A = this chain, B = another copy of it.
Amino acid sequence: MGMDFFEASAERFSYRGSYLPDAVPRSDLERIMQAGLDAPSGCNKQTTSLIAVDDPALLAQIFAIMEKTPSKNAPAAVCVTTKRIVAYKDGWGNERCYGVQDYSAAIENMLLAITALGYASCWIEGYVTDADEQGKRIAALLGVPEEESLICVLPIGRAADPAKRVRKKPFEERTHFNHW
């Protein structure tokens, strides 16, 4: 089962509704994570790691930590961690790290994979990395090593509610040809 890339790109949206209780098979979680690992990383440092969670008791604990987050009944989730690795030093001695770029590309790939497989999700990073450090508590729960930061949770499941899509600026406002 799959979906055309352009269809997946156009169909993907941030879902904040309730989920159906249907379990997400491990084989689908593996395909979703493989898509995440397919993403490029600055100087191939592969700074991103992934933890799929489908244990109902663990999911309940994670969603209890994520107080302000909607969609607390997803039957699965992928947690995203990042490790600070210097990609290179530029000619002026500055350390260049691309961890945020790396995990963002991995997350976008996973969101497209989730869409292509008929599931819904939402990129939940803000709540997780706010000053109350929900991410640190989730990391402790999952046994994530010290040097890794847990920065995002993607709930995964079949949507129970209708899609609500945000309005976006028209194409012409955000794109240009040859000159701004």
Candidates B55, B111, B113, B148; contact of A6 at CB < 8 Å: B113
Nearest residue, chain B, Cβ from A58:
B178
Interface contact B6-A4, CB-CB below 8 Å: no
Interface-centre pick from A58, A166, A175 (highest chain B CB count, 10 A): A175
Nearest residue, chain B, Cβ from A8:
B5
Copies in the complex: 2
Interface contact A175-B33, CB-CB below 8 Å: yes
Candidates B13, B91, B130, B142; contact of A179 at CB < 8 Å: B142
Candidates B35, B107, B178; contact of A142 at CB < 8 Å: B178
Interface contact B38-A12, CB-CB below 8 Å: yes
Residue A125 at the chain B interface, CB threshold 8 Å: yes
Digit string of A147-166 for contact with B (CB within 8 Å is 1, else 0)?
01000000000000000001
Residue A26 at the chain B interface, CB threshold 8 Å: yes
Which residues in A have some Cβ–Cβ distance to B below 8 Å?
Answer: 2-10, 12-14, 26, 29-31, 33-35, 37-40, 42-44, 46, 48-55, 58, 87-88, 90-92, 94, 96, 98, 100-101, 104-105, 107-109, 111-113, 115-116, 123, 125-126, 130-132, 142-145, 148, 166, 168-169, 171, 174-180
